[in-house]
């Protein structure tokens, strides 16, 4: 029998001249004893019970966080006539329930890191660039502890990756922003935190056409109805992605043709760039496991991909 093994493939375990029954006997583990079977069944039952308890506790924490946030939002309606004060109070008071929801989802630590352009192999923007990014952060130290994080809170538009519920909750905890959705037929529209959490359960663009054709029109409405201090959060892809990259928005040229002007709703128009004056932030969220090896606060080798890259829209 051994002389036929030279024709076999050791990587797959396939031996064309060895009987299948013999190969199965060689590959299959020996039959377990009754005691080992009972121990395995007991471990499975304990694991199922623990998982059920953990799911129940997480759902209860999410429910408590949701009720807590709803109650605070109703109380903060008293200050709705003062948008700047309302935003500051929301940023302080709504942060604990958002952090509790993140904890219930398994996000125990948050760490913000500025972009390392050399490690990410992307070209750093020039000092006076009108549109790219004043910051590039990744999700585990309190967000307000670093100087770069404090500067990011002054951004007017924040472009973010969007892979799950975590990104809207994190941005709500960090910025208390006004969320913006991109629509299938073009345009922008405002969206509340609850609506964007519901939208995160879907795998498509927001249906229909947005109420605002361009970003500048949306910003004017935002300044008129609230305070320009409240940042706008936009997901450039318009829907959930795998989180490995963020589409880079390009500026529409003033002398662009009709075809290019029709694409204004997919990027920055000239009026929006002039109003923003470079106060644009880009946030990429990276998830790491507690069991992964590596230094604290840094991506582990077990992570299948690195920090999100900025890629050009095609």
Listed in sequence order, the residues at least 6 apart from 151 whose beta carbon sits closer than 8 Å to its beta carbon are 134, 135
Rounded Cα distance between 185 and 303, Å, is: 36
Q: Are 214 and 264 in contact (CB under 8 A)?
A: yes
Question: What is the DSSP track for 100-127?
Answer: HHHHHTT----------HHHHT-PPPPT
Half-sphere exposure of 185 (CA within 13 A, CB side): 6
Instruction: Determine the 3-state secondary structure of 71 from DSSP.
Output: helix
pLDDT of 193? 92
Give me the pLDDT at residue 107, please. Answer: 83
Helices (H), 200-269: 215-225, 258-261
Contact 283, 136 (CB under 8 A): yes
CB burial class (10 A; 0-12, 13-18, 19+) of residue 291?
exposed
278: Cβ contacts below 8 Å, ≥ 6 apart: 128, 129, 130, 131, 134
Per-residue pLDDT of the chain (314 residues; tens, 9 = 90+): 555 565 566 665 555 656 655 656 555 566 667 777 788 888 888 888 888 999 999 999 999 999 999 999 999 999 988 988 999 999 999 999 999 999 998 888 777 766 665 655 555 555 544 333 333 333 222 333 344 444 444 678 888 888 888 889 988 998 889 999 988 888 899 999 999 998 888 877 888 888 888 888 888 888 888 887 888 998 888 887 776 667 766 555 433 444 444 444 456 777 877 777 667 777 777 666 554 444 444 443 333 334 454 444 43
Q: According to the model, what pLDDT value does residue 65 have?
A: 95
pLDDT at residue 10 in the model: 61
Q: What is the pLDDT of residue 306?
A: 41
The pLDDT, as a whole number, for residue 146 is 43
């Amino acid at each position: 029998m051994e002389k036929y093994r030279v024709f076999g493939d050791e990587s797959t375990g396939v031996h064309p001249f060895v009987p299948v029954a013999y190969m199965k006997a060689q590959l299959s583990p020996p039959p377990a004893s009754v005691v080992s079977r009972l121990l395995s069944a007991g471990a499975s039952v304990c694991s199922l019970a623990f998982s059920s308890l953990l799911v129940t506790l997480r759902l209860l924490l999410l429910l408590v966080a949701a009720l807590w946030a709803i109650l605070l939002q109703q109380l903060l309606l008293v200050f709705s006539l003062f948008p700047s004060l309302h935003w500051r109070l929301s940023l302080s008071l709504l942060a604990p329930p958002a952090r509790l929801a993140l904890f219930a989802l398994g996000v125990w630590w948050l760490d913000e890191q500025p972009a390392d352009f050399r490690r990410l192999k992307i070209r750093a923007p020039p000092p006076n660039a009108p549109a790219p990014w004043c910051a590039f952060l990744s999700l585990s130290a309190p967000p307000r502890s670093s100087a770069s994080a404090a500067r990011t809170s002054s951004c007017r538009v924040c472009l973010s990756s969007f892979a799950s519920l975590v990104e809207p909750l994190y941005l709500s905890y960090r910025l208390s922003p006004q969320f913006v959705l991109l629509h299938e037929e073009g345009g922008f529209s405002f969206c509340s935190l609850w609506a964007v959490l519901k939208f995160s359960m879907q795998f498509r663009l927001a249906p229909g056409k947005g109420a605002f054709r361009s970003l500048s029109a949306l910003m004017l409405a935002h300044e008129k109805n609230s305070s320009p201090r409240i940042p706008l959060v936009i997901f450039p892809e318009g829907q959930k992605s795998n989180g490995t990259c963020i589409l880079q928005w390009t500026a529409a040229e003033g002398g662009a043709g009709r075809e290019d002007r029709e694409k204004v709703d997919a990027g920055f128009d000239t009026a929006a760039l002039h109003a923003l004056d470079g106060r644009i932030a880009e946030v990429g969220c990276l998830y790491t496991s507690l069991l992964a090896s590596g230094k604290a606060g840094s991506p582990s080798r077990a992570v299948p991909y690195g920090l999100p890259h900025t890629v050009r829209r095609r």
